[in-house]
Amino acid sequence: MAIYENFAKVYDIFMENIPYEEWVLYLEKIFKKYEKSPKLVAELGCGTGTMTTLLAKKGYEMIGIDFSEQMLAKAREKAIDNKVNILFLEQDMTEFELYGTVDCVISVCDSINYILEEEQLFKVFKLVNNYLEPKGLFIFDINTKYKFENILGCNSFSQTTEDAAYTLENYYDEEEELNEFYTNFFIKDKETNLYHRFEEIHYERAYSIEKIEKLLAKANLKLLGVYDELSFEIPKKDSERIFFIAQEISK
């Protein structure tokens, strides 16, 4: 079963606690801090297009990239509803292709953790370098090892709404640094009022700051900063999400 195939139906319902608007403001603070005024921005792993749409409404020319057809269908609906023009591309992050260079590439909501092999992550970074304008910024976040070990790992979570519910079971392998998310969704059929059950298994890998810095350097991307979420403070031992800012340096 394709990852997110059924989750796309209820993704936005269960992601209501994600601070998308705060992330947008934070991105603009990053642009100001590093004296950048990007016009064309590409988002890797855009999902249902919430961030892409919010940035488009701010006036940025947006490209949204995701490998899930179902997620992109929701994203296109969202763009139409908000009367913004966004180019959405159904592509794998490790093999994405653009029609030209962009001023900035972003990837939020731990999409980078979904890249499970270092070689594949290097490919992503290399492609980012290839499609960035000279001195362009690459901004992304990750779930930290601390979060996998102490918040998610070997814990279960559940959430219910009027029309859907899910259970989430986590299994973190400390040796492999790999977290398995086993998810059950119960989605209400509005015509029959019956609930249909779907299951999906997702995986995320924990990456150290040192490992990411090494892979960025190998891809000719200079690491400018690593910050605790929504701040310009250095990450703490118990930081759950951290942001990286890198810059293209090869052209």
Give me the DSSP letters along 145-158: HHHIIIIITT-EEE
pLDDT value at residue 125: 98
Say which residues have a Cβ less than 8 Å from residue 99's Cβ, sequence separation at least 6.
none
pLDDT value at residue 156: 83
pLDDT value at residue 225: 98
Domains recognised in the chain with CATH numbers: 7-144+207-248 (3.40.50.150), 147-205 (2.20.25.110)
User: At which residue do the structure tokens 């209820």 appear?
Assistant: 10
Residue 219 has pLDDT above 80, yes or no: yes
Confidence of residue 1 (pLDDT cuts 50, 70, 90): very low
- How are strands ordered across the β-sheet holding 178-188? 156-160, 164-173, 178-188, 195-205
User: 71-116 pLDDT, tens per residue?
Assistant: 899 999 999 999 999 999 999 999 999 999 999 999 999 999 999 9
pLDDT value at residue 18: 84
Contact 111, 44 (CB under 8 A): yes
Confidence of residue 251 (pLDDT cuts 50, 70, 90): low
Contact 229, 239 (CB under 8 A): yes
Helical packing angle, 50-57 and 69-81, nearest 10°: 30
Mean pLDDT of 1-17: 56
User: 178-208 pLDDT, tens per residue?
Assistant: 999 888 877 777 788 887 787 888 899 999 9
Which amino acid, residue 244?
F
pLDDT value at residue 59: 97
Mean pLDDT of 113-142: 97
Contact 136, 244 (CB under 8 A): no
Half-sphere exposure of 242 (CA within 13 A, CB side): 22
